[in-house]
Amino acid sequence: MKKTRLQLMLCGGSGCQATGSQLFHDALEKELKRIRLDREIKIIETGCNGFCAVGPVMLVQPEGIFYQKLSPEDVPELVEEHFLKGRPVKRLQYVEPASKETIPNMNDIPFFAHQKFRVMRNKGMIDPEIIDEYIARDGYFGAAKALTQISPEQIIAEMKASGLRGRGGAGFPTGLKWEFAAKSAGDIKYVLCNADEGDPGAFMDRSILEADPHAVLEGMIIAARAINANKGYIYCRTEYPLALHRLDIAIRQAREYGLLGQNILESGFDFDIEVYQGAGAFVCGEETALMRSIEGKRGMPRPRPPFPANKGLWEKPTVLNNVETLANIPQIILNGGEWFAGIGTETSKGTKVFALTGAVNNIGLVEVPMGVTLRKMIFDIGGGIPKKRKFKAVQLGGPSGGCIPEQCLDTPIDYEEIAKVGAIMGSGGVIVMDEKTCMVDMARFFLDFIQDESCGKCTPCREGTRRLLEIIERICQGNGVFEDIETLERLSVVIKNSSLCGLGQTAPNPVLSTLRYFKDEYIAHIVDKECPAKRCTALLKFKIDSDKCKKCGLCYKACPASAIIWQKKEVAEINREKCIECMSCFEACPFDAIE
Amino acid sequence: MPTSMQLTHPDISSEMIPKIDAVIAAHQKTSGAAIPVLRLCQDIVGYLPVELIDYISAGLNLPRSEVFGVVTFYSLFSLTPRGRHTIKACLGTACYVKGIREIMNRISSEYHLKEGETSEDRRFTLEAVRCLGACGLAPVVVVDQDTHGGVTPSQVKPLLEQYV
Ligand SMILES: Cc1cc2nc3c(=O)[nH]c(=O)nc-3n(C[C@H](O)[C@H](O)[C@H](O)COP(=O)(O)O)c2cc1C
Ligand code: SF4
Ligand code: SF4
Ligand code: SF4
Ligand code: FES
Ligand code: FES
């Protein structure tokens, strides 16, 4: 790649595409051509940069200037001022929410500065649709080493030394998993990549696939060599069209370069990869269900043993790894297991990518070394809670996970430590909740999800979660009784202990963790018939507190049903007959005057 | 022609049939083909009429019950006709915390449309989906291929009015 004076790393990930990066790209390209700067300045369309919430984003290299919220109208000024006259455009730069200071350089923005990029080292740095750019950053060197310099046993030894644990949720040591499959007898074996990313509120895997698809392919090649498999599948959810598109391109280019197919790098080793699209079933993220689904059947889990390492896809020995797990592997092989284990805690090594979302100022993807505290992630990287509201809880691990309250925020990110406080590391979804989130309603939300997604094969999960949901719904409706709390706890234990797969076994976690830390909210719903966060509509009065009302009229403007009576300098009032209970006014009122 | 069966249905035009046949033919020899074939055929027709499912079962030489089982298991597949435009409101956790419920309420009240339903004029189908991976933009609504992030209740009507 010939170096130009400036490289404009414009994000073309699915987040930024939604906020209009394509229109900006077209306008910028046209303008650069018009003033004949297009030879000097090159636009490179990258994958997700991680900071989707302020998209479209662009990094100007080699200067490191970061621009956000770009639109086609900004193009003339940007080109004239920055690219011609060398004066970066301040108004398009990041402003620190607390200090209101403008920060021009990406590496100085706290959101990026506290991160450590290993899995995401190429994000925003390369065009993911050009294999040469990946290779230029040491891409496929790990595979080359694994295929031509070291033995499969040595690969597994490095993996075990690294301490890498599966990033898909369960945290099983990857080296050990490969060793089982390598020892399993059989000429036909498979390597699968789990790109189903079912946790609703997580997008780490999507971003890795969009920004650096070759890293995942390379990880699969190394895994295949270690266990001696010749065929791989990537099971990717159908909701990720851009990731699917980039995988197709990456696989095609890898084949052209002889990195997939027969006799890879003249090593005598054959391996090829096919992409398989999911069809919208959460349970298919579970390993045995995923394999059933690739076989073209209903994706229902089956009991283990036999484990996939012995009998997996089409009854053959199979290794399944998550996208992020696989993206870690090339660097482990290249730099050694010990290098990888150089950061992290006693039992959790390396880094972890999280999708930080919800009630937090800086929303996006963050990669941090294991051992960093949740507080640091939410307040230093995430910039704290917006709208001057108070932090209430952070949810980790999605529908299988739990909520962690303020008093546990100094918990380090570590598989065991997080489990101790009642959540799980999970795949990396981190949802921050403020005082406006009702914890009973959150438990209801996750149960509703689980109830929807339970495959129905076993009774404790199918019927038990339905019972849990009924009870919680009753509590949210204001019809709960005190004994419900005990029933919830008792039933949860039964479901945990007698469900067949991980979905059922972890389904009660959101209930148990909210009961553990927020029992007072349950009691408020049951005894006082009140929802402290004002989320459960059945418990709201739809009345305006005239003492709290500051007569601003914002509720009046927000109401779609003309149900609010308001005039300048007068207290607002709700006409219950017209009100459709849509909650818009609650969100609109800055003074918390509606109850 | 993969089978001797005739495929006739008011929603399946004569241009669609060769495309369907091509999909079936391309997958006839692969094991585990039911899901991709159903997906591609649904892309062609818009949904999966019973006659089409029968035709696919025969074409792939799979038991009818097995193919029906697959169709009903996966939420991607639809047995009923769909609207001209599909509204997907994200009911993932990030969008839920950011107020997708208010957005859903607004869509329902403006267009008299409940989750999973198609409006009488077949203009819109409203679907709830679980996370589109655009959580950074929550709350997210996708109409056809366009992702709209940071949607507020008052934006719902102007946004959807663009789709006729
Ligand atoms: C209900 C359920 C859903 C799951 N969904 C996913 C998923 O979306 N992505 C994923 O990587 N793992 C998921 N898992 C975990 C997988 O079963 C499996 O442990 C993992 O893919 C193994 O890869 P790893 O060792 O690299 O983490 C899920 C597990 C269960 C029980
Ligand atoms: S625990 Fe739930 S999802 Fe898992 S097999 Fe049983 S019913 Fe299906
Ligand atoms: S809840 Fe909705 S309809 Fe009722 S007063 Fe508030 S904004 Fe109007
Ligand atoms: S938004 Fe709140 S403070 Fe303003 S008029 Fe309405 S109720 Fe009163
Ligand atoms: S898609 Fe652009 S930063 Fe994530
Ligand atoms: S939760 Fe809505 S896009 Fe992820």
Measured CA to CA, the distance from residue A240 to residue A278 in angstroms comes to 10
The pLDDT score that the predictor gives to residue B133 is 84
For residue A283, which atom of ligand 1 is closest to its CA? 1
Task: Find all residues with CB under 8 Å of B75, minimum gap 6, and list them.
Answer: A279, A280, A281
Identity of the residue in B102, B132, B140 whose CB atom sits nearest the CB atom of A583: B102
Measured CA to CA, the distance from residue A511 to residue A492 in angstroms comes to 8
Which of A434, A525, A542, A422 shows the shortest CA–CA distance to A472?
A525
Tens-place pLDDT, residues A53-107: 899 999 999 999 999 999 999 999 999 999 999 999 999 999 988 788 999 999 9
Q: Contact, A142 vs A329, CB < 8 A?
A: yes
Q: Contact, A293 vs B35, CB < 8 A?
A: yes
pTM for this structure?
Answer: 0.94
Measured CA to CA, the distance from residue B124 to residue B3 in angstroms comes to 35
Which of A418, A363, A417 shows the shortest CA–CA distance to A395?
A418
Q: In what order do the strands lie in the sheet with B124-129?
A: B124-129, B85-90, B141-143, B146-148
The pLDDT score that the predictor gives to residue B150 is 93
- Quickly state the pLDDT bin for A243 (edges 50, 70, 90): very high
Q: Which domains does chain A have, with CATH numbers?
A: 6-108 (3.40.30.10), 131-340 (3.40.50.11540), 351-434 (3.10.20.600), 439-526 (1.20.1440.230), 541-595 (3.30.70.20)
| pLDDT of A2 over the 80 cut | no
Measured CA to CA, the distance from residue A331 to residue A214 in angstroms comes to 13
The percent of residues above 90 in pLDDT, for chain B, comes to 79
| pLDDT of A233 over the 80 cut | yes
Run of H or E including B142? strand B141-143
B59 has a chain A CB within 8 A of its CB: no
Examine the predicted complex and report whether its ipTM is higher than 0.90.
yes
Q: Which domains does chain B have, with CATH numbers?
A: 16-73 (no CATH), 85-160 (3.40.30.10)
The percent of residues above 70 in pLDDT, for chain A, comes to 100
Measured CA to CA, the distance from residue B144 to residue B60 in angstroms comes to 30
Q: Contact, A411 vs A187, CB < 8 A?
A: no
Measured CA to CA, the distance from residue A395 to residue A517 in angstroms comes to 12
Omega of the bond leading into A62 within 30 degrees of 0 (cis)? yes
- Quickly state the pLDDT bin for A346 (edges 50, 70, 90): very high
The pLDDT score that the predictor gives to residue A4 is 85
Task: Find all residues with CB under 8 Å of A374, minimum gap 6, and list them.
Answer: A394, A404, A408, A409, A410, A411, A413
Q: Which one of A239, A244, A586 would you mutate to disrupt binding with B, by most B Cβ within 10 Å of its Cβ?
A: A239
Which of A232, A49, A213 shows the shortest CA–CA distance to A134?
A213
A58 has a chain B CB within 8 A of its CB: no
Tens-place pLDDT, residues A29-45: 999 999 999 999 999 99
Q: Contact, A81 vs A75, CB < 8 A?
A: no
B133 has a chain A CB within 8 A of its CB: yes
The pLDDT score that the predictor gives to residue B59 is 95
The pLDDT score that the predictor gives to residue A330 is 98
Give the mean pLDDT of A438-456. Answer: 95
The pLDDT score that the predictor gives to residue A230 is 97
Contacts of B74 in chain A (CB under 8 A): 279-281, 299
Task: Find all residues with CB under 8 Å of A474, minimum gap 6, and list them.
Answer: A480, A484
List, run by run, the mean pLDDT of 10-residue segments along chain B (164 residues). Answer: 75 94 94 94 95 96 95 94 94 93 91 91 92 90 93 94 93
The pLDDT score that the predictor gives to residue A400 is 92
Q: What is the DSSP letter of B12?
A: B
Task: Find all residues with CB under 8 Å of A484, minimum gap 6, and list them.
Answer: A471, A474, A475, A526
The percent of residues above 90 in pLDDT, for chain A, comes to 94
Measured CA to CA, the distance from residue B136 to residue A356 in angstroms comes to 8
Residue count of chain B, please give it.
Answer: 164
For the CA atoms of A344, A345, A346, A350, the dihedral, rounded to the nearest 10 degrees, stands at -20
Q: Which residues of A207-223 are buried (b: 16+ CB within 10 A; e: fewer)?
A: bbbbbbbbbbbbbbbbb
Tens-place pLDDT, residues A3-36: 789 999 999 998 999 999 999 999 999 999 999 9
Q: Nearest chain B residue to A587 by CA: give it.
A: B99
The pLDDT score that the predictor gives to residue B3 is 56
Q: In A184-269, which ranges are continuous DSSP H helix?
A: 204-211, 213-227, 241-256
For residue A207, which atom of ligand 5 is closest to its CA? 4
Range 442-471 of A in CB contact (< 8 A) with B: 445-446, 449, 453, 455
Which own/partner pairs from A447-452 qualify as long-range (CB within 8 Å, at least 24 positions apart)?
A447/A472, A447/A507, A447/A510, A447/A511, A449/A200, A449/A282, A449/A399, A449/B130, A450/A399, A450/A503, A450/A507
Q: Contact, A25 vs A10, CB < 8 A?
A: yes
Q: Contact, A42 vs A6, CB < 8 A?
A: yes
Q: Contact, A298 vs B69, CB < 8 A?
A: yes
Q: Which one of A21, A297, A314 would you mutate to disrupt binding with B, by most B Cβ within 10 Å of its Cβ?
A: A297
| pLDDT of A487 over the 60 cut | yes
Tens-place pLDDT, residues A155-177: 999 999 999 999 998 899 999 99
Neighbours of A87 (CB within 10 A): 10
Least confident of A144-148, A193-197, A257-261, B106-110: B106-110
User: Ligand 3 pocket: which residues have CB below 6 Å?
Assistant: A 542, 558-559, 561, 563-564, 574, 579-585
The pLDDT score that the predictor gives to residue A146 is 98
Run of H or E including B147? strand B146-148
Q: In the numeric block, which tokens belong to residue A167?
A: 């990033």
Tens-place pLDDT, residues A296-336: 999 999 999 999 999 999 999 999 999 999 999 999 999 99
Q: In the numeric block, which tokens belong to residue A226?
A: 């270690």
Measured CA to CA, the distance from residue A174 to residue A157 in angstroms comes to 11
For B84, phi and psi rounded to 5 degrees? Answer: -65, -30
Measured CA to CA, the distance from residue B141 to residue B144 in angstroms comes to 10
Ligand 1 center to residue A358 CA distance, Å? 23
Ligand 4 center to residue A197 CA distance, Å? 41
The pLDDT score that the predictor gives to residue B1 is 45
Diameter over CA atoms, chain A:
83
Neighbours of A349 (CB within 10 A): 22
B115 has a chain A CB within 8 A of its CB: no
A437 has a chain B CB within 8 A of its CB: yes
Which of A215, A216, A159 shows the shortest CA–CA distance to A182?
A159
Q: Do B35 and A281 touch (CB under 8 A)?
A: no
Q: Which residues of A287-296 are buried (b: 16+ CB within 10 A; e: fewer)?
A: bbbbbbbbbb
Region label for A135, one of left (φ > 0), alpha (ψ between -120 and 50) or beta (otherwise)? alpha
Give the mean pLDDT of A523-537. Answer: 95
Region label for A445, one of left (φ > 0), alpha (ψ between -120 and 50) or beta (otherwise)? alpha
Q: Do A201 and B69 touch (CB under 8 A)?
A: no
